[in-house]
Structure 1
């Protein structure tokens, strides 16, 4: 929001939220109806193609978003080494409003201007005129409009909203107050309406011009440079006709330079060209991919989780993953396509970079889904992917790798021990976060609790929890006799171990594989504390209480956090991920794999010391 919002700042359909697209429904229905009920001779392709074109614009923008976020995560050729936070993602979540505005304008002009109907697919004269009208009136008028928007009165009321984003992303290009976006559309309408009214307009001319605008907007707001310097050496006049991401990045940091739209010629003419434009481009092009200190290795969960990656939908990635939503059904073609691609693609990919003090943090993702981890025939391939990731991290000088979710499965690799056994000379430390998981669960149990129910699949976290609780004199009840016998063999404090099927305990420690029907046997007011990798279904959320999976709130010094880790709230990190970071900060020299665990108390105190806090 601008510092002093002026009139017509908010978009008219702001209060409609995600239902704003219903505004287009009457136009879309009318376009399809009128096309299919009229004779072939009178059918209007122009009107029919408006809606598919709007959809193509959305896809075009999403491709740029994914491409940009992947490149900035790798840090290759990055321009500004600053962070993006949740407030910027929220501010830019309405990037599609300008597409909606374009659709409404197109439909209205088609209805009111008879020359805008039944346009031919191609008209060379119209395309040539569009080019000249853009280079002349549009670029010239935009330059002076843009300079006017930087005067205090207009800047504080309108344009400061756009400049709130110092580190730009492709979608930053269209984040403006409503009236400002309307003024830009009127500028861009000059070539389109000019050709239409002169009778030389075409479908290619209209849609191609808007596509050009989208392309240049997205390209210029990337926070990495990829326009080669040799291009301007081979074609020197090009530097006056095409801007670069580094050129426009300077406008967002210096504010009073580089005002041009896409053609810097007017900055050269009027003396507002930033003298460091060329040197910044060269410096950015010379930038190399950064090697992290810590890598968190996770994987895809559900088919819909692809949209919640930082590389997917920015606004969805900034919110916790909450299972299948209504809009996922409309995305099933894309979902199936993405599943096919991830199954074919045989390498991990980077999804996120963060910085904590001087520590560089990466999150890498194995292109496999939850269900694939349970297929016996997939286990060897998944283990190979994980091992390749560990060896790649080792080669890049990574200090610690934490294995998230099922990448540390007991049956898959014995909590990562398989890779240490195969590669005994590894310098990188591999951790599964089990010690911190135990510490978080222990500190989540209300003070004064005398008895807990331990339920779900037993693993080393469960055994450690039971051992520590029994040693503290807290009774641990188990509802399955086999589990009771297994823990009894591992503890010296079996007098506090109970075999009980009354389900009367008010605190349940829930692991993976818990029988969901058992939740309905819990007493009203029961507290469910998971020690599992995945959250249990909240079947009793109306009369019981649920904690999140073992996790901690990140310190404020952790930068570039603008996506959620699966189902966890904003700025909350899984215990495994936190352990990897703390392990590197403390400089510990041992793995946490197989049956071995770090000291629970030491890990907990170290986490608090470095600014991590329990989830409130």
Structure 2
């Protein structure tokens, strides 16, 4: 049997739980519009306070996930994974609860509504009541919740989050938040009953309370240790993220709300609190571990730029899709991207651990369309080069280039950088060998003929040469006879006749297997016969126009099950799935290969790379039935 007040009554409502704010909005709008009065202005204040409270926690979350700012001051080095994100998905339930309780209080005690805008005495009374009542009340209540029964049925939920995060502050049961309501409500109610209450006092106290809660549950230390040397008494009146994090590792210590003074009085102060705090803030550079592998990504468009953990953690943990609620933030995102362009620096976006190796994703603040502007080529290559050299200095073993960062016309698939810096210790990898392997292993064994667009690209060439060796007839769509003949000569003599040049889509009207390496329009797709399957390695993916045909996914692989700390999706990929070029770099690093994988694809290594990927637990992701 479930313990009372251990589950939220609206937990099955999903996003519709926010309709619980509806009566407050309706009551305010009704009196304002139809009664032409603002007597229910208190409803608006409750809604505004709730919105601001959520915003405070979101700001803390954004800061925690800005790894390019916080990587050197992280308390726990592991990342927040999908399991913790899902567990904390409804972290804001307590805001709804307190909004409902505040509404009931205002209806039952009308005197709470008629507050002046400002009363300086209220702040002094509030502080006094907080220190003498709220702090000790929370301290002892917190200790009681660590008793056997209360911890098992209530408080263990809060401690189930392995990595502290601002949203973890709200991840608790209704009973715990009811106690927290009392902790918050006593100082405010006391000040109001004494006649010293004010609107500004309510706003200030509630938001300051949430700010300090977000501070304590931050996984990035923000308070410098020097301040405690200059003002020693302050360490007993203000806790730090490090201080509170120790409570989650040693649950018999550090129970205070915000003031370690009560832990000192109760003899529950962890002796390592300030020593660990000093170590984290003074040895930040030494504590940080450089990655073994880096995936160098780029921004696709403005909307996808918001699909990062430091914007909305929940949104980034699901495959990207355009959402209407993001449209109002488009101008702000564009302005931030402009600032990032001016700074012209590669940013650390996310990381995960795989078998003891740290893997990071860096992003270049350049949009996809910029890669096709002739005057932007030099600047983009400069940023890619700087990222490679930075990785080399950090001791990174492999850096993999994503999508357009390895464009043939841009830098020859990474060849430019390897030739320019022959002494590189970091291995530069375009990952296209595994991409080709993924595409080729999607084919059914009985396929005898394929139609290939983008036939003279790196992937197109490798695909054509591999298939012709398997005695598959390849219709290569290209208008360049010279480039076709060059590829044909690379094939074994007895296989060259399997490569056939075609110049029109009509040539494929009887071929049911298309490999799309160059974007094709719905009209061009119309030449495919009914029942055709479109394999593709083109970015962006082609439109699924034909209902009588099937469309393959972009080449991708699922990371091994033992990956740790992965909490964001790679663009439109599912959870735990990365593009094949990303996976190719991972395999390169895990295998310890010492060669650069740049330029043309070595067809002889396709099967080798594929087997290595499977050996390390990576699995293909495809909707194709290979039976």
TM-score, normalized by the shorter chain, greater than 0.5: yes
Q: Is contact 2:67–2:350 with CA below 8 Å preserved after alignment?
A: no
| Match of residue 152 from structure 1 | 148
| Match of residue 348 from structure 1 | 346
**What are the ranges of 5 or more consecutive residues in structure 1 without an aligned counterpart?**
none
Work out the CA distance in 1 between the residues paired with 2:334 and 2:178.
Answer: 37
Please point out which of 255, 267, 270 is paired with 2:266. Answer: 270
Q: Which moved more, 1:603-612 or 1:123-132?
A: 603-612
| Match of residue 234 from structure 1 | 230
Work out the CA distance in 2 between the residues paired with 1:346 and 1:513.
Answer: 30
Q: Is residue 448 of structure 2 the alignment partner of residue 450 of structure 1?
A: yes
Q: Is contact 1:44–1:118 with CA below 8 Å preserved after alignment?
A: no
| Match of residue 610 from structure 1 | 616
**Counterparts in 2 of 1:518 and 1:476: CA distance versus 1, 3 Å:** same
Work out the CA distance in 2 between the residues paired with 1:203 and 1:483.
Answer: 75
* TM-score normalised by structure 2 residue count: 0.90
Work out the CA distance in 2 between the residues paired with 1:334 and 1:233.
Answer: 40
Please point out which of 167, 189, 192 is paired with 1:193. Answer: 189
**Counterparts in 2 of 1:117 and 1:38: CA distance versus 1, 3 Å:** farther
Cα distance, 1:47 vs structure 2: 4.3
Please point out which of 8, 16, 27 is paired with 1:11. Answer: 8
Work out the CA distance in 2 between the residues paired with 1:253 and 1:304.
Answer: 39
| Match of residue 84 from structure 2 | 88
**Counterparts in 2 of 1:533 and 1:458: CA distance versus 1, 3 Å:** farther
| Match of residue 225 from structure 1 | 221
Indicate the SS of the match to 1:415.
coil
**What are the ranges of 5 or more consecutive residues in structure 2 without an aligned counterpart?**
623-627
| Match of residue 407 from structure 1 | 405
Structure 1 residues 215-236: Cα deviation after superposition (integer angstroms, max 9, x where no partner): 1111111223232222222222
Indicate the SS of the match to 2:153.
helix
* TM-score normalised by structure 1 residue count: 0.92
Q: Is residue 606 of structure 2 the alignment partner of residue 600 of structure 1?
A: yes
Q: Is residue 589 of structure 2 the alignment partner of residue 589 of structure 1?
A: no
| Match of residue 176 from structure 2 | 180
Work out the CA distance in 1 between the residues paired with 2:363 and 2:180.
Answer: 40
| Match of residue 315 from structure 2 | 316
Cα distance, 1:45 vs structure 2: 5.8
Work out the CA distance in 2 between the residues paired with 1:74 and 1:293.
Answer: 19
| Match of residue 539 from structure 1 | 545
**Counterparts in 2 of 1:84 and 1:481: CA distance versus 1, 3 Å:** closer
Q: Is residue 512 of structure 2 the alignment partner of residue 514 of structure 1?
A: no
Counterparts in 2 of 1:36-435, with a 5 A limit? 46-71=42-67, 75-285=71-281, 286-288=283-285, 289-322=288-321, 324-435=322-433
Cα distance, 1:20 vs structure 2: 2.5
**Counterparts in 2 of 1:302 and 1:179: CA distance versus 1, 3 Å:** farther
Q: Which moved more, 1:374-383 or 1:90-99?
A: 374-383
Indicate the SS of the match to 1:425.
coil
Work out the CA distance in 2 between the residues paired with 1:115 and 1:341.
Answer: 49
Please point out which of 502, 511, 534 is paired with 1:505. Answer: 511
Work out the CA distance in 2 between the residues paired with 1:378 and 1:120.
Answer: 58
Indicate the SS of the match to 2:295.
strand
Indicate the SS of the match to 1:12.
coil
Cα distance, 1:70 vs structure 2: 2.2
Indicate the SS of the match to 1:482.
coil
Please point out which of 478, 496, 499 is paired with 2:498. Answer: 496
| Match of residue 625 from structure 2 | none
Q: Which moved more, 1:461-470 or 1:189-198?
A: 189-198
RMSD over aligned Cα atoms: 2.6
Cα distance, 1:522 vs structure 2: 3.9
Q: Which moved more, 1:30-39 or 1:279-288?
A: 30-39
Cα distance, 1:32 vs structure 2: 4.7
Cα distance, 1:565 vs structure 2: 0.8
Cα distance, 1:393 vs structure 2: 1.4
**Counterparts in 2 of 1:94 and 1:483: CA distance versus 1, 3 Å:** farther
**Counterparts in 2 of 1:538 and 1:199: CA distance versus 1, 3 Å:** farther
**Counterparts in 2 of 1:74 and 1:206: CA distance versus 1, 3 Å:** closer
Indicate the SS of the match to 2:424.
coil
Indicate the SS of the match to 1:352.
strand
Work out the CA distance in 2 between the residues paired with 1:301 and 1:20.
Answer: 33
Counterparts in 2 of 1:546-565, with a 5 A limit? 546-565=551-570
**Counterparts in 2 of 1:535 and 1:108: CA distance versus 1, 3 Å:** farther
Q: Which moved more, 1:367-376 or 1:494-503?
A: 494-503
Q: Is contact 1:32–1:48 with CA below 8 Å preserved after alignment?
A: no
Q: Is contact 2:451–2:513 with CA below 8 Å preserved after alignment?
A: yes
Work out the CA distance in 1 between the residues paired with 2:247 and 2:485.
Answer: 68
Work out the CA distance in 2 between the residues paired with 1:52 and 1:512.
Answer: 51
Cα distance, 1:466 vs structure 2: 0.7
Q: Which moved more, 1:168-177 or 1:493-502?
A: 493-502
